[in-house]
Amino acid sequence: MPGPMYARYVPPKAQKNPQATSRPLKPTATPSTQPEIPQPLVASKKEKKLKQEKAEDSEKKQKSRSENSKKRKTPQLEEHEHEGGDDDHGAELKRRRKEPSVPIKSSTEGKKKEKRRKPKKEDNSTASESGSGAEDDSDEVSKAHERVLAKWKKSSKISEDLRKKETTEDKVEEQPPELHDLVPLPQPEQVPDEEYRPTFSTLPPWLAQPTTVSSSTKTPFKEMNINPKLVEHLSSKGLQDASAVQSAVLPLLLANVKERQHDVCVSAATGSGKTLAYILPLIESLRNYGNTELRAVVVVPTRELVSQVRDVVDLCKVGTHIQVGVSVGNQSFQAEREQLIQRSERCDSEATAALEERASKRVTRGGDGDDDLLDEVSIVLPKHFPGYTSKVDLLICTPGRLVDHITSTRGFSLDSVEWLVVDEADRLLDERFQEWVDVVLTNLESEKTPEKKSAPEQISSYLQYPPEKRQITKVVLSATMTRDLEKLGSLRLRRPVLVTVTNPQQGEKAATEPRDEFSASSQLHLPPTLVEWAIPVDESEKPLFLLQLLKTKSFAGRSTKTNQNPVSTTKRGSAELLPSAGDSSSISSSSSDDSDSASDSSDSDKSNTLHDAESKGKSGKGSSVEGKVNMPNVLIFTRSNENTARLAHLLKALHPPYAELIGTLNRSASSLDSRKLLAAFRKGKKSIIIASDRASRGLDVRNLQNIVNYDMPKDLQGYVHRVGRTARAGESGQAWTLYENAEGRWFWNSIAKAKEIERGERRVERIRLDMEGVDERMREAYEKALQGLQSAVLGPKN
Ligand SMILES: Nc1ncnc2c1ncn2[C@@H]1O[C@H](COP(=O)(O)OP(=O)(O)OP(=O)(O)O)[C@@H](O)[C@H]1O
């Protein structure tokens, strides 16, 4: 054999192009990119011949050739040889894998490269094959090649193994999921997310840390800084002790004007006595003035509240000369002006001359207003000027009417006002009412007119000193006081203090624990004596459900003159009906904990049943009109004026004996009518009031025992105010909420279990009405009533 089979193989690493040399050793990611087999390994016959011829070249070249062949060993190959060769192929492979990968060349590109390489290899082979030296050399090269080939094989094997391993791993991952039929896989118990409680507060300290007082607190009026005659008078009316909120607020407000350094915000449950808490300080402050000036303004949202506050003022002002005015817009504006402002004439030649001069120049300031004044001047005595004085010390008004007087009533001025009370503040600040806050505050903060300035004020004005800031005490109250800083900020309170009333347990907690923003904003209070019920109803027969409720003994079968509550909560989550003569009905209820979903069809199993005593024929007295003792005393809330009228119509048609006992209270009722209705209700001539939310705020009706939410309230605050019409001033009361299927979830989540309401141990309890008594006859009557309603709405021809 003329020469070795693999003569003149130039190891890939000896190539000039390092990328080309490294490719054969590089393991490939996919089988399609197999390591490139070194091309020169199998030499063609032509090549061998050429090699032989060239091997006969001079010995001189032999040395240089052997040196050349040594030099051609790449540093990489040498390195491998030093490191122990084949054993380190794995490490080498890994190292190369980390190197940036060589882009895969296209086949044409590979061929071109091969062509470029060929002449070089030919040169080398010619040089290496000459005589015995050439043989040695070729042996050496052959061995080197074998070594490299062995390394390549080994590396190929390793990469092949790796590929196999990866494929098996992939297969394991791709295994199809185990099938478990339709039974859900057992899941680990879910860890509830911890409630986020920020460690910082964005509320100002006065809101975040209010002054709290326990609802059990009582202070005798005689221990307070109140006129003894007034204390005596209050006592004669059964008011000896100040309630909790009064005990906290009165000391702050009874101080004299110089000591009153704070504006006061009050957040306390409905019926806790907030009205007296601000009326007493007003009376004590106003009683000592010798002249009449408008010094106190009380703003409330509705006409009914205006007259209610007036009643409290009338109770407290006995023996004083305090003049009280009301402004509600139920009478003509002119008549109201005359009640509030006294017009007089004073001799003031200077003022008259100035005015006449203006008139002659036809300079008008403020347009029509000045023209009016000119007209007035023309009808007074010569050299006389019209003057105006207030006829009232204290004005109780709605915001809209107050703005009307400020802007249009000549002589109406807030220059002497020292007190501004905003009752039901969240409602008044929610609705803009002609931007009343801005108008009133701008007036209160503006400089007094010269006539209203005191002597010292006139002197400092003459000396052109800047006017002193006026001392006005603001009192802001609500059972659902807003923590909205923007709204409260609009009242521009001065060093405000927030007073809240908590139940005894909460009071202890509040005293020891600092209140953060979260808890401060979440406090709504319900009267502790209130019992709350929830009744699922069928939407299509809701009036029938209401009728059944009104007839049930636990609702209607008790005297309106006693405060005995037919349902006594015996322990948490359970209740029972107190036995009463001839009463066979019973109630045992489930707490709200058992009633997560209103749509739960198993309601009936868990809930309780109110047996209709009348339908069972065991007590016919329960709903007889003559037996007033057993008539329901109830305020029923609907969501709109229309619903109020419709429901009244249906109830009267369904159960005619109720007709003369039903009254409606909504926005379309005049003040006089609503006053009359409330008076009749207090006297027991009317027992059922069907009302819109107009009656939900502030209304105080003694002996009102039941509230029915026939339609859902708008929100949580709405609920608190509605149900707060009962269980007032420590008396008992019940609230019944009828919920349709679609409303149940919202009611339970947003009202019954609302975290914002402090209910303590109490729960809203769910009961079911027994509808057995509703027979075909009643359903027919219901249908007729609906038809009657339709023709009443559309007219008889339709
Ligand atoms: N010190 C007191 N002792 C006994 N009864 C009181 C006392 N103070 C007020 N009351 C009575 O409590 C009832 C509720 O008072 P008031 O109307 O002021 O409550 P309120 O807190 O303003 O309620 P709301 O937030 O619903 O307006 C009234 O009938 C009132 O006569």
Q: Whose CA is nearest to atom 20 of ligand 1?
A: 271
pLDDT above 60 for 629: no
DSSP state of 749: I
Three-class SS state of 158: helix
230 and 296 fall within a common domain:
yes
Three-class SS state of 639: coil
- Is the CB of residue 398 below 6 angstroms from any atom belonging to ligand 1? no
pLDDT above 50 for 559: no
* 427-485 pLDDT per residue, tens: 898 876 668 999 999 999 887 776 666 777 777 777 777 777 788 999 999 998 887 88
432 and 530 fall within a common domain:
no
The most confident of the ranges 51-65, 645-659, 773-787 is 645-659
- Is the CB of residue 240 below 6 angstroms from any atom belonging to ligand 1? no
Three-class SS state of 349: helix
- Is the CB of residue 729 below 6 angstroms from any atom belonging to ligand 1? yes
- Is the CB of residue 728 below 6 angstroms from any atom belonging to ligand 1? yes
Gap between the Cα atoms of 172 and 507, Å rounded: 63
- Burial class from Cβ neighbours inside 10 Å (0-12, 13-18, 19+) for residue 573 reads middle
Instruction: Determine the pLDDT at residue 628.
Output: 45
Q: Which atom of ligand 1 is nearest to the CA of 479?
A: 25
215 and 330 fall within a common domain:
yes
* 491-508 pLDDT per residue, tens: 999 999 999 988 765 555
409 and 543 fall within a common domain:
no
pLDDT above 70 for 755: yes
477 and 544 fall within a common domain:
no
- Is the CB of residue 274 below 6 angstroms from any atom belonging to ligand 1? yes
Q: pTM value? A: 0.66
Instruction: Determine the pLDDT at residue 354.
Output: 72
- Asked if residue 513 belongs to a domain, the reply is no
Where are the alpha helices (H) located in 210-345, listed in sequence order? 228-236, 244-253, 274-286, 303-316, 333-340
546 and 461 fall within a common domain:
no
Instruction: Determine the pLDDT at residue 60.
Output: 63
The CA-based angle 757-763-769, given to 5 degrees, is 125
304 and 404 fall within a common domain:
yes
Q: Is the dihedral of CA 78, 82, 83, 87 positive or negative?
A: positive
- Listed in sequence order, the residues at least 6 apart from 116 whose beta carbon sits closer than 8 Å to its beta carbon are none
pLDDT above 90 for 264: yes
The answer to whether residues 267 and 488 touch, using CB atoms and an 8 Å cutoff, is: no
Between 144 and 77, the more confident residue is 144
Q: Whose CA is nearest to atom 30 of ligand 1?
A: 273
Q: What is the mean pLDDT of residues 653-675?
A: 85
* 330-357 pLDDT per residue, tens: 778 888 888 999 887 777 777 777 767 7
pLDDT band with cut points at 50, 70 and 90 for residue 775: confident
The count of C-alpha atoms lying within 13 angstroms of the C-alpha of 251, restricted to the half-sphere facing its C-beta, is 13
547 and 421 fall within a common domain:
no
Q: What's at 174, amino acid-wise?
A: E
pLDDT above 60 for 9: no
Closest to 2 in 3D by CA, of 38, 53, 36: 53
* 566-610 pLDDT per residue, tens: 333 333 333 333 323 333 333 334 444 434 333 333 333 344 444
Q: Which atom of ligand 1 is nearest to the CA of 243?
A: 1
Q: For a pocket test of ligand 1, which of 315, 700, 720 has the largest count of ligand atoms closer than 8 A to its C-beta? A: 700
Q: Which atom of ligand 1 is nearest to the CA of 724?
A: 26
* 314 Cα: distance to centroid of ligand 1 (angstroms): 15
Q: Over 44-76, what HEC string results?
A: CHHHHHHHHHHHCCCHHHHHHHHHHHHHCCCHH
Cα-based distances in Å from 14 to 21, 22, 95, 296, 566: 7, 10, 19, 106, 106
448 and 544 fall within a common domain:
no
ipTM of the complex: 0.99
297 and 353 fall within a common domain:
yes
Instruction: Determine the pLDDT at residue 199.
Output: 66
pLDDT band with cut points at 50, 70 and 90 for residue 38: very low
- Is the CB of residue 725 below 6 angstroms from any atom belonging to ligand 1? no
- Asked if residue 279 belongs to a domain, the reply is yes
- Asked if residue 233 belongs to a domain, the reply is yes
- Asked if residue 480 belongs to a domain, the reply is yes
- Asked if residue 63 belongs to a domain, the reply is no
Q: What is the mean pLDDT of residues 187-193?
A: 80
**Which domain range does residue 748 map to?**
525-552+630-792
544 and 463 fall within a common domain:
no
Q: What is the dihedral of CA 134, 136, 141, 143, to 10 degrees?
A: 160
- Is the CB of residue 612 below 6 angstroms from any atom belonging to ligand 1? no
- Is the CB of residue 525 below 6 angstroms from any atom belonging to ligand 1? no
Instruction: Determine the pLDDT at residue 318.
Output: 92
- Is the CB of residue 481 below 6 angstroms from any atom belonging to ligand 1? no
- Is the CB of residue 566 below 6 angstroms from any atom belonging to ligand 1? no
Question: Which two structure tokens, joined as six digits, stand for 131?
Answer: 């005589």
Q: What is the mean pLDDT of residues 290-300?
A: 93
Q: What's the total number of domains in the chain?
A: 2
pLDDT band with cut points at 50, 70 and 90 for residue 256: confident
Q: For a pocket test of ligand 1, which of 222, 226, 239, 726 has the largest count of ligand atoms closer than 8 A to its C-beta? A: 239
pLDDT band with cut points at 50, 70 and 90 for residue 316: very high
> Where is the domain boundary, 469, 503, 537?
503
CATH code for the domain of 726: 3.40.50.300
Q: Whose CA is nearest to atom 7 of ligand 1?
A: 273
The answer to whether residues 158 and 93 touch, using CB atoms and an 8 Å cutoff, is: yes
Q: Which atom of ligand 1 is nearest to the CA of 221?
A: 1
Q: For a pocket test of ligand 1, which of 217, 247, 274, 719 has the largest count of ligand atoms closer than 8 A to its C-beta? A: 274
- Asked if residue 166 belongs to a domain, the reply is no
Q: What's at 275, amino acid-wise?
A: T
* 272 Cα: distance to centroid of ligand 1 (angstroms): 5
- Asked if residue 567 belongs to a domain, the reply is no
- Asked if residue 612 belongs to a domain, the reply is no
* 269 Cα: distance to centroid of ligand 1 (angstroms): 10
pLDDT above 90 for 98: no
* 32 Cα: distance to centroid of ligand 1 (angstroms): 91
Closest to 550 in 3D by CA, of 640, 639, 614: 614
496 and 548 fall within a common domain:
no
- Is the CB of residue 311 below 6 angstroms from any atom belonging to ligand 1? no
Question: Which two structure tokens, joined as six digits, stand for 436?
Answer: 């009343």
- Burial class from Cβ neighbours inside 10 Å (0-12, 13-18, 19+) for residue 58 reads exposed
Between 44 and 471, the more confident residue is 471
Strand 419-422 versus strand 341-347 pairing type: unpaired
